[in-house]
């Protein structure tokens, strides 16, 4: 796969600022789990944040919304293999807390995500765990393919 010039190579010393990236984790197949991510990457600070949605067309349907935040770093590799990017994100259920309402409740995480991506941020592999409610057991997904997708355009 050729390098897409719209995505920065963050393994170099260049600091490009912010960029937006949308991903799909998992394969589109009947009954399969799909994890969609809409992220903003802050390269000078190596921070990542955004929104995610885990869905599965089963009965009852799975629909886990999460607000993600975390960081990325380089994984060292032996030459000539390029260094991989390790993205570590923790997600929390979105809450709608009134302005000026004081401190909100303690919210437990509902997603833990680890992605290994190629330096151009185009593709990779991910392992994650999620829970559909605060009292639910953690469900784990290992070695799911990650691909960059075009972000949705607001109309």
Three-state DSSP at 120 gives coil
* Contact present, 87 and 48 (Cβ < 8 Å): yes
Q: Is 60 within the bounds of a domain?
A: yes
Residue 75 is encoded by which pair of tokens?
């994984």
pTM exceeds 0.75, yes or no? yes
Q: Is 43 within the bounds of a domain?
A: yes
Q: Is 13 within the bounds of a domain?
A: no
Residue 72's domain comprises 18-96+103-148
Q: Is 11 within the bounds of a domain?
A: no
How do residues 76-129 score in pLDDT, each as one tens digit?
Answer: 888 888 889 999 999 999 988 888 888 877 899 999 999 999 999 999 999 999
Sole residue written with tokens 């593709």? 123
- Where are the strands (E) in the chain, listed by range? 18-25, 33-42, 47-56, 62-75, 84-92, 111-117, 123-130, 139-149
Highest mean pLDDT among 12-21, 67-76, 77-86, 144-153: 67-76
């Amino acid at each position: 796969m050729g390098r897409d010039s719209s995505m920065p190579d963050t393994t170099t010393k260049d600091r490009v600022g912010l960029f937006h990236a949308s991903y799909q984790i998992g394969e589109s197949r009947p009954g399969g789990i799909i994890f969609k991510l809409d992220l903003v990457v802050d390269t000078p600070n190596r921070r990542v944040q955004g929104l995610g949605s885990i869905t599965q067309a089963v009965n009852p349907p799975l629909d886990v919304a999460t607000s993600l935040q975390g960081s990325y770093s380089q994984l060292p590799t032996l030459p000539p293999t390029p260094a991989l990017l390790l993205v570590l994100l923790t997600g929390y259920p979105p809450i709608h807390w009134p302005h000026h309402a004081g401190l909100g409740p303690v919210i437990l995480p509902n997603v833990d995500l680890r992605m290994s991506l190629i330096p151009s941020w185009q593709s990779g592999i991910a392992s994650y765990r999620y829970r559909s409610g605060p009292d639910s057991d953690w469900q784990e997904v290992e070695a799911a393919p990650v691909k960059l997708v075009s972000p949705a355009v607001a109309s």
